[in-house]
Amino acid sequence: MRVFYPLTLLLFSLLFFLTACGSDNTASLTQSTFAASEKCITCHNVSRAVSKVTGAKITDEWARSAHGALHGASCIDCHGSGNGHPSNCGGCHGGSTTAGLEFHNPEKAAMCYKCHGLSHPEDVMLINAPQHFGNMTASISNVRGRASYVSSNYVGNCRKCHNPHDPSTAMRNGRQWARSGHGDTVGSPRTAYDFKTNGTYQPVNTTFDRNCVRCHTTTGYINFVSSGFAVQQPFAGPGYQVVQYPAASSDKTKEVTACNACHDDGKGNAYGFKLRSVPQVHIYYNYSGASTATNPGSRAVSLATGLPVKFNNNVVTYPNAGPSNMCISCHTGRGYGNMIKIAAGAPYFLNFSTGTSIGGSHAFPGAATLFQIIGYEYAGRDYPSAAPLHSQVGISNTNATGNLGPCITCHMNSTESHSFRPVAFSTEPTETDPSVGVIGSISSQTCVKCHTGTNAWTASTLQEKRTGFQAAITVLYATFYKKGVVVSRTATSWGIPTNYNWNRLYGSTSGPDTMGAYTNYNVLKSDWGAYAHNDRYVKRLIYDSIDWLNDGVLNNDVEAAINSLTVGKSPWNSSVNYSGASLLTVQQNAIRYLLGGPGGSRP
């Protein structure tokens, strides 16, 4: 489930991004321009001039926009007074007049800035959506500045998000997007680093370098998916030198996931709001235990050679999900459980007595959970999904769900489509803590296609799953603490000890399974909607991880293991601790979720 962060600077009314010159802004635009534009409208209305991007009649688009309906901007205000018509049109136009750049490309001629931008503090767009503009001139050392909609690659490119003839109609979707994580300008996924520098020039099949650019910026994302998932290079805006992390870029702007990430007509146009075509996704999950600039000190060595373990060309191909391939590209995580088995086997023979950690994920790896790729699966245990249809939602019109793939079909089939959330919360989860709030309603209209009758999902039944899942992750975390896999680092923090020996608990061959349990904890903690994406698979991964950790044997003593815990801590909020009655509630919820209740069995 996609989560959406609080935008402390965002004023969500957003009325109309481009209403603004509007409301009869006669201080800057006079009625004479509208009178003069009547000739344009009259002729183009008769000729039925149609937008090559939207397929709609241009005069109709303008008329229903704030530019037209509220006398915000006329044809001449945007295109200039030159008509560029042939001289033989003089009967109507009074002869040909020279047309400047603004006639053919008003945004490149900066015509939008006649009314909008930092030079117009009274501009409605600037008042209601100040996040359009961000860190343009900050000092080079200030890398934590917020992102902006008009980052360097978007200056003079308003059409990457807005229909120039009708910027108003899509504003409802724009408001929703601005509230989502994709439009968040202040959250850590945009501001933790200058992500446009976090790229690599190395081949995608062999690199272990930073590749954050491919998902934390729109430009990097487009480069990645349009290159067949090969290009992960850093970039900078026009006129700026491209540098690679840890060098600091002189381009201080930061990108969000903008409209043109997902919308493209194949010709570089976004404002027709056609969906970008992305091929079937394949992701390389490579690993290196060698020392690098960002990872000093060799972490993972081979028992056979004593040299750092490295493996590359480790590609996973995801099922073709049609338009949802756009989403899968960035929701696959950066590691998965099977990487541990690869490292343990020939020819690598990883030494698990070192402080190695392999297979940890990244934020929101929902696609990897959905398609059963994410987890470490224990030998001798089966992992069939109880809900195989979730991966088939939106594929070949399964259960009348259409053909947009599971991600779009479940997350965008609501009146709040561009919030990307299938549920609404009574209290919003925070950027770092998914346990806050309660599901108040199910927004997605897709769930009822399959979940009907006794299998129906309601807000309360889904919240019960959510509570149980979070409790199960919490008791798994507490089991690691009980066994000493994680220890108290500070008064509030638990973590893995330095140079942890993964073989310590149960002998020289046990390391992979102990590390696998920790990987399952990490990857599922990162997928806040795992309980909905693939419920039974997720339950089995958690169940088996606790089962193994308890005594090094898969003997179904999970209920006893959970009941033996004496302390717990929230995996997402280190200030929340559990003991006594509060821990008992967590234990009961976890047992109900994993076993169906006391005395139950493996899910």
In tens, the pLDDT along 532-563 reads 999 999 999 999 999 999 999 999 999 999 99
| Last-in-domain residue among 50, 77, 111 | 111
Q: What is the pLDDT of residues 288-299, one digit of tens each?
A: 887 544 444 556
Residue from 371, 354, 348, 362 nearest 287 by CA: 348
Q: Please tell me the predicted confidence (pLDDT) of residue 91.
A: 58
Average pLDDT over residues 98-105: 77
Residue 104: domain span? 31-111
Helix (H) / strand (E) containing 577: strand 577-578
Would you say residue 154 lies in a domain? no
Assign residue 295 a region (left: φ > 0; alpha: ψ between -120 and 50; beta: otherwise): beta
Would you say residue 119 lies in a domain? no
Q: Please tell me the predicted confidence (pLDDT) of residue 3.
A: 41
Q: What are phi and psi of 214, to 5 degrees?
A: -70, -20
Would you say residue 20 lies in a domain? no
Would you say residue 542 lies in a domain? yes
User: What pTM does this model have?
Assistant: 0.90
DSSP state at residue 496: P
Contact 416, 174 (CB under 8 A): no
Contact 263, 210 (CB under 8 A): no
Q: Please tell me the predicted confidence (pLDDT) of residue 140.
A: 39
Would you say residue 581 lies in a domain? yes
Average pLDDT score over the chain: 87
**DSSP sequence for 45-91:** HHHT-B-TTT-SBHHHHHHHSHHHHTT---HHHHH-S-----GGGHH
| Last-in-domain residue among 52, 82, 111 | 111
- Is 4's pLDDT higher than 80? no
- Is 142's pLDDT higher than 90? no
Would you say residue 359 lies in a domain? no
Q: Please tell me the predicted confidence (pLDDT) of residue 94.
A: 58
Give the integer Cα–Cα distance in Å for 73 and 444: 38
Q: Please tell me the predicted confidence (pLDDT) of residue 347.
A: 93
Q: Please tell me the predicted confidence (pLDDT) of residue 381.
A: 97
Cβ neighbours of 552 (radius 10 Å)? 15
Average pLDDT over residues 26-52: 72
Give the integer Cα–Cα distance in Å for 353 and 444: 47
Q: Please tell me the predicted confidence (pLDDT) of residue 496.
A: 84
Would you say residue 124 lies in a domain? no
Tokens of 433: 């803590």
Contacts for 402-407 with beta carbons within 8 Å, 24 or more apart? 403/322, 403/323, 404/275, 404/322, 404/323, 404/324, 405/321, 405/322, 405/323, 405/324, 405/325, 405/327, 406/321, 406/324, 406/370, 407/321, 407/324, 407/326, 407/327, 407/328, 407/331, 407/366, 407/367
Give the integer Cα–Cα distance in Å for 69 and 142: 43
Q: What is the CA radius of gyration of the chain?
A: 27
Q: What is the pLDDT of residues 505-526, one digit of tens each?
A: 999 999 999 999 999 999 999 9
Q: What is the pLDDT of residues 436-486, one digit of tens each?
A: 889 999 999 999 999 999 889 999 999 999 999 999 999 999 999 999 999
Average pLDDT over residues 144-169: 91
Task: Tell me the β-bridge partners of 292.
Answer: 295
Which of the residue ranges 207-211, 235-239, 366-370, 496-500 would you say has the lowest mean pLDDT? 496-500
Q: Please tell me the predicted confidence (pLDDT) of residue 306.
A: 86
Tokens of 181: 């994580």
Q: Please tell me the predicted confidence (pLDDT) of residue 5.
A: 36
For the chain, the domain total comes to 2
Q: Please tell me the predicted confidence (pLDDT) of residue 27.
A: 38
Name 105's Cβ contacts closer than 8 Å, sequence gap at least 6: none
Give the integer Cα–Cα distance in Å for 59 and 334: 48
| Last-in-domain residue among 61, 91, 111 | 111
Tokens of 47: 């000729």
Q: Please tell me the predicted confidence (pLDDT) of residue 88.
A: 62
Peptide bond into 167 cis (omega under 30): no
Tokens of 331: 């929701």
Would you say residue 433 lies in a domain? yes
Q: pLDDT class for 97, splitting at 50, 70, 90? A: low
User: b vs e for 557-567, b when ≥16 Cβ sit within 10 Å of the residue's Cβ?
Assistant: ebbebbeebee
Q: Please tell me the predicted confidence (pLDDT) of residue 25.
A: 41
Q: What is the pLDDT of residues 168-182, one digit of tens each?
A: 999 999 999 999 999
Q: pLDDT class for 202, splitting at 50, 70, 90? A: very high
Residue from 360, 336, 348, 333 nearest 300 by CA: 348
